[in-house]
Amino acid sequence: MKYQLTTLVLGEVSREMRGTIFQMKTLRSAPHYFEVSVPHQVMVGEERHTIDGREVVFDLKGYPPDILLIQTTTEVPDIFSEDIFTLEEQIYNQCREILERHGGNRRFSEMYSIFEVAGYKGDPEQFMPHASRMASLLKSERVELDPREVEYTLATQIKYARHDLAIIDWDGAFLFDIEGVFAPTVELLTLANVQLLRHRITDRRLDEHLERMASLVKTMPKKLSIFRPTAKEIDRQLEEIVRYRMLAIQAFQTVEREIKLIGDWYSARIFDIAARKFKILEWRDSIKEKLEFIEDIYTIVVENFGLSRKDRAEFAQIIFFFILQIGWLALIILEFIYFTR
């Protein structure tokens, strides 16, 4: 029997992630284009630290341009023991330190634990006597959960072959595979966490746009003119939000388009379960609504307080015509003086 604990910590960093492209292994029941259809990681490096008397390798990977992944896989004597909570917490503490050293922000990070069981005989249902502990690990709760909560937690699962099983929850997953082929499934769970983190980052940036807009409105005079810098600032902000909206929608579609290429295969089903658990669809809809709301605000501000390019052109024509009339009047006066001398 072989037990492993895999931990994932993903965070936004200030510098661009660069490194050697990491080629993902093909998952069972995936088409030939699977390996090129999903976003690739880049290998950034590794660190080794002693955790609870054992050496743990911390693999540093990245999802360009700004997502750092810190991943560990540790073999443990018993995945269902109480000691797993302590080991998991110590590994996460070290991951947070690594993330901060690379310019990451703890507030905008995701943590995920994957408990792996291999080398057993028979069906994975033989481990169901540990259901209560499994649910507690998936919930990151040391307390004993209510039987109904245990049943609800373990209900989200998928079987492909007779002797394997995947149970997926918000904070973690249990993977059972006789042969111990966990890497492709771990990759898909990582990808779902990346998408969740990117949605959170996008939501934060939209909030920043709202704050800047609120500050701009507070300092805005009741009437704007082409001689005031605020009018140009509104135009600049409007162009910025339209550009950012395009980039955000493009980012939303990238992962979903690539996942859809896989079709109704085992890999797509795994990702779909994780996405539903992470409420990714709800995040996406909420962000789209916020994007439309912010764009509407900018449009209203421009229509009510700003001067459009057409307005500026008409205003310039009026001024030019006025100057021209003054010039003609001056010529008439000069001619009158000349002929009356």
Which class for 324: exposed (0-12), middle (13-18), buried (19 or more C-beta within 10 A)? Answer: exposed
DSSP structure class, residue 81 = S
Is it the case that residue 6 has pLDDT exceeding 90?
yes
- Average pLDDT score over residue span 219-232: 54
Sheet holding 172-176, edge to edge: 20-22, 41-51, 54-63, 67-76, 2-12, 109-118, 172-176, 165-168, 157-158
Which of 121, 254, 71, 266 is closest to 184 using CA atoms?
A: 266
Among 107-121, 175-189, 225-239, 268-282, which stretch is predicted with the lowest mean pLDDT?
225-239
DSSP state of 263: -
pLDDT in tens, 72-93: 999 999 999 999 999 999 999 9
Tokens (6 digits) for 299:
């449009």
CB 171 within 8 A of CB 140: yes
Between 280-305 and 229-260, two packed helices, what is the crossing angle to 10 degrees? 160
> Does residue 126 surpass a pLDDT of 90?
yes
Residues above pLDDT 70, as percent of the chain: 74
- CA proximity to 160, closest of 273, 261, 269, 258: 269
Query: Do 267 and 27 contact (CB within 8 A), yes or no?
Result: yes
Residues in CB range of 85: below 8 A, 6 or more apart: 137, 142
pLDDT, one tens digit per residue, over 296-318 is 777 776 666 555 555 566 667 77
Q: Is the entire prediction scored with pTM above 0.95?
A: no
Domain boundaries of the chain, sorted by first residue = 2-189, 205-317
- Point out the least confidently predicted range of 97-106, 253-262, 286-295: 253-262
pLDDT (0 to 100) of residue 303: 65
pLDDT tens, residue by residue, 144-196: 899 999 999 999 999 888 889 999 999 999 999 999 999 889 988 998 999 89
